[in-house]
Amino acid sequence: MKIIKPTPLGVLTRPHRAAGSEHLGVAIPMMVTLGETPRLVSESELWDTVGAELAGFPLDAALPKPRAEFLLSARAYGRYCDHTNTCRVGIRFAGVEKALLVSGERRWAGSAPSAAEPFESLAIDWPLAFGGAGYADNPRGRGFHGVSANSERSQQQLSQPLPNVEYPAERLRGPGQIVTPGSFTPIAADWPQRRALYGALDAQWRESDCPGFPCSMDTRYFNIAPTDQQFPALDAMPDGAAYRIVHMHPEQPVITGALPPLRARCFLQRQSEDTLAEIPMRLTTVWFIPHRERAVMIFHGIAGIREFDAQDVACLLLGAELSGEPRSAADYRRTFDRRMDRKHGALHALRDQDLVPPALLITADDASTDATSHDALERNLQQRARQQIERARAAGLAPGAFDAAPTQPPRIDQLAEFVEQQERIAQEQRAALEEKQREIEARHAASGMGKRVNPPTTRRGPPALSRDGAASRRADRKKDPSHLEIDADKKLRETYRHAVQYQEAAPRLDTAAGRVLQERVAAAHARGESLAGWDLTGADLSRMSLRGATLSGALLESADLSDTDLTGAVLGNAVLARATLVRTAFARTDLTGANLSLAQCDGTDFSDAVLDRALFENTRFERCRLTRASVQRTQFRDCRFLSTDFSEATLSDLAFIEQTFDTVDFSRASIRKLAFIQCTLTRVAFASADIAGFGFVETVASGIRFDGAILRKACFVKESVLDNADFSQAQLSEVNLRQVRAHGANFSGARIDQCDFSDARMRLADLRAAKIADSHLVRTDLSGANLVRADLMGASMRRAVLHGANFREANLFRADFAEAAIDDTTQFDGAYLDQANFHPFAKAAA
């Protein structure tokens, strides 16, 4: 579900079942400042404040409340106490008034409470109200001692502290007295005040409403405030309700004001539909936090949905407006379309004013600081410009020669318009330039000169450097000023190494020059000399033995290394772009950071080589061996892999995008963070591989093998295809296979833990003897699947399609088959079905 909203608004959603059908509850919390001029604050402040101030209470359950209500997360302050160290706190809001007394610590002094001790501040919450163990209406409180025949225990109970928070008319006067607990905070769901409203979990509930709310439930259960903070006659707060809060701020004895007259708007778009349906929203809850001078306004709405987990909901659009200034549905539709735009949607998301009244927006806490520093910098630059203009004028230049219009960077909420304007300007300038070019070419043609020919601008080969790298071995840099040339040499080499594949190919050396260079290389290697940094561009080094050679940083673009033995060589940061590497031996070779783009790798042996941080762009691998190679943070772009062996290799931090793999073996490899995005994999095997962090996105991998593999924290998403895949005897943990297509896949004997197969299509899949724990198969199509002797204890298979599925002798203890599609062809012979749930049954197709 995608959420489109302005930054000040939060959102909570709750799919739930009630009255035999599915619903989506939506709550939109927005935090406002208290006082004469209320403003909306950021969502980040909302959640930070909620986490710090709500004492563990959830902000809201996103369930429809039949009554409006208010709550307070508040403190009483000793500075407002009278001579008895007692403080009266209270609130009057929308016509409802409530007061409580807060006193310091007290205990029984005989049969009467002791004098209250002074206090600085105390939370007005249930733990400090009347109650305690055994008192159902407030088991978290203090002062309730129950009935005990044990005098020692009774004496111990009497020594416990008395309630600090009380109703003025019901103060605790003596032991054994029962008073009404007082607080401004929510009532727990399991306390009798609310539990009595829940309804009965009877046969009707099991057959029709499970696991939702029973039909016999009184919806007042969703109201969480004490009854004296509810509005029985109102299902929504009135616009701009006034409040008066007394003695619950450390510095302000009284806080008065009115809530902003805000309305929430919410629109829902369903999957495969274009229309936006509005969900009516009501302001049902206000949660005051007086000492923070904040209040959270919570709007509720509810919509009917088809799927129990709201999978059929594609998007929610949220907004807020002043009650007297409503926006049309067409305005919201335009905003929706702008924010869904692939090109500029992210920029339009910065425009809060499209979805919330600009007058209510509050600036970020550090905005003033940033603005001040920005203004100071701008003033300094303008002052310097004026000084330079004055000097220019003194030198006799024209007074207006250096005048420039003041510039102002766009605000963040103006970026969308600014970028669109700049694109229009750029498009107009391109059109003007193209027109000018056509005019020039027409004049050339008319003058008889023909079409203008541009001089060649592309370059080939490496930059003009010493061919043997001697420049890099000059005398001490501190004594030789030529170190500047060395720096330039290094920078040019580095640039060339990264970008060689984007320039025209360097030519091969002619036969004579190639023979001379080959002899020099052979002689230097025979003497044990380093070949690091040598320029061997276009050289023919085929069939040579360069075992153990040091060629780091060497330039070997377009070189022929066919049948060359480079076993154990060092080629770190070397350039091998466009090199011919047919049957080249790179076994145990260090190719860290090397560029092998556009290289021809046919029969190349990279076994035990180090390819970390190397670059392969438009490289073709055919019949190559990379067994036990280290391939970490390596870049592969537009490559093709045919009959390539990565078995037992170490691969990490790799992403393959739009690349093809045919007959590639990753068996027994150690893999960390590997992604295939829009790739095609044919006859690819990860058998017995150890994998942690693995992603398939829009990738087709029919017949892929993971048999015996260990697969942790993986995802196969966005219409990935795993038809006939083999996961037999594999161990899968925290794997996401939602919506994947895996018809005929083999999971026999697999150990599957905390995995999600929801909405997957797995017809004729083989899950024999698979152990599936804490996993979801919601709406999974398992038609004709074989689950004989599978362990599905506690599995969630709600609305799964199970026509023809075979669960013979399977462990289905506490499995959930609610609304699953089951018919006469579904087999449960010998299955263990204790506490398995089949209610509610699937509805007959219309």
Domains of the chain: 2-73+205-360 (no CATH), 75-123+126-182 (no CATH), 489-738 (2.160.20.80), 739-846 (2.160.20.80)
**What single-letter amino acid sits at 694?**
F
Residues found in the chain: 846
Residue 834 has pLDDT above 50, yes or no: yes
Question: Which 3 state secondary structure label does DSSP give 72?
Answer: strand
Exposure class string for 632-652: b at 16+ Cβ within 10 A, else e: bebebbebebbebbbbbbbbb
Q: How far apart are CA 743 and CA 749, in angstroms?
A: 17
Antiparallel, parallel or unpaired: β 112-113 and 242-246: unpaired
pLDDT digits (tens, 9 = 90+) for 623-672: 999 999 999 999 999 999 999 999 999 999 999 999 999 999 999 999 99
Q: 498 pLDDT band (50/70/90 cuts)? A: confident
Q: How far apart are CA 253 and CA 243, in angstroms?
A: 14
Q: What is the 3-state secondary structure (H, E, C) of 164-195?
A: CEEECCECCCCCCCCCCCCCCCCCCCCCHHHH
How confident is the model at residue 376, as a pLDDT? 57
How confident is the model at residue 364, as a pLDDT? 47
Exposure class string for 98-116: b at 16+ Cβ within 10 A, else e: bebbbbbbbebeeeebeeb
**Structural element, H or E, at residue 27:** strand 21-33
pLDDT digits (tens, 9 = 90+) for 239-282: 999 999 999 999 999 999 999 999 999 999 999 899 999 999 99
Antiparallel, parallel or unpaired: β 313-322 and 262-270: antiparallel
Residue with tokens 């929430």: 264
Give the Å distances, CA to CA, from 163 to 142, 167, 201.
5, 11, 36
pLDDT digits (tens, 9 = 90+) for 280-301: 999 999 999 999 999 999 999 9
Tell me the mean pLDDT in the region 668-678.
97
Q: What is the 3-state secondary structure (H, E, C) of 399-463?
A: CCCCCCCCCCCCCHHHHHHHHHHHHHHHHHHHHHHHHHHHHHHHHHHHCCCCCCCCCCCCCECCC
Q: 145 pLDDT band (50/70/90 cuts)? A: confident
Question: Which 3 state secondary structure label does DSSP give 492?
Answer: helix
- Per-residue tokens: 19: 């009255």
**Contact call for residues 56 and 166 (beta carbons, < 8 A):** no
Q: 358 pLDDT band (50/70/90 cuts)? A: confident
Residue 177 has pLDDT above 60, yes or no: yes
pLDDT digits (tens, 9 = 90+) for 391-442: 666 655 555 555 555 555 555 555 556 566 666 777 777 777 777 778 787 8
Q: How far apart are CA 31 and CA 134, in angstroms?
A: 37
Q: Does the N-terminal peptide bond of residue 139 adopt cis geometry, omega within 30 degrees of 0?
A: no
pLDDT digits (tens, 9 = 90+) for 761-808: 999 999 999 999 999 999 999 999 999 999 999 999 999 999 999 999
How confident is the model at residue 440, as a pLDDT? 80
- Per-residue tokens: 442: 């027409």
**Contact call for residues 320 and 337 (beta carbons, < 8 A):** no
- To 10 degrees, the CA torsion angle through 346, 347, 352, 355? -70
Residue 384 has pLDDT above 90, yes or no: no
Q: What is the 3-state secondary structure (H, E, C) of 297-357?
A: EEEEEEEECCCCCCCCEEEEEEEEEECCCCCCHHHHHHHHHHHHCCCCHHHHCCCHHHCCC
pLDDT digits (tens, 9 = 90+) for 448-482: 665 554 544 456 778 765 445 444 444 444 545 55
Q: How far apart are CA 241 and CA 756, in angstroms?
A: 47
CB count within 10 Å of CB 148 equals 12
Tell me the mean pLDDT in the region 160-183.
94
Which of 422-431, 559-568, 602-611 is least confident? 422-431
Q: How far apart are CA 101 and CA 164, in angstroms?
A: 8
Arithmetic mean of pLDDT over the chain: 88
pLDDT digits (tens, 9 = 90+) for 737-753: 999 999 999 999 999 99
Q: What are phi and psi of 158, to 5 degrees?
A: -70, -20
pLDDT digits (tens, 9 = 90+) for 60-93: 999 999 999 999 999 999 999 999 999 999 999 9
Residue 686 has pLDDT above 70, yes or no: yes
How confident is the model at residue 730, as a pLDDT? 98
pLDDT digits (tens, 9 = 90+) for 316-335: 999 999 998 999 999 999 99
How confident is the model at residue 386, as a pLDDT? 66
Residue 142 has pLDDT above 60, yes or no: yes
Tell me the mean pLDDT in the region 46-56.
92
Q: How far apart are CA 762 and CA 784, in angstroms?
A: 9
**Contact call for residues 540 and 520 (beta carbons, < 8 A):** no
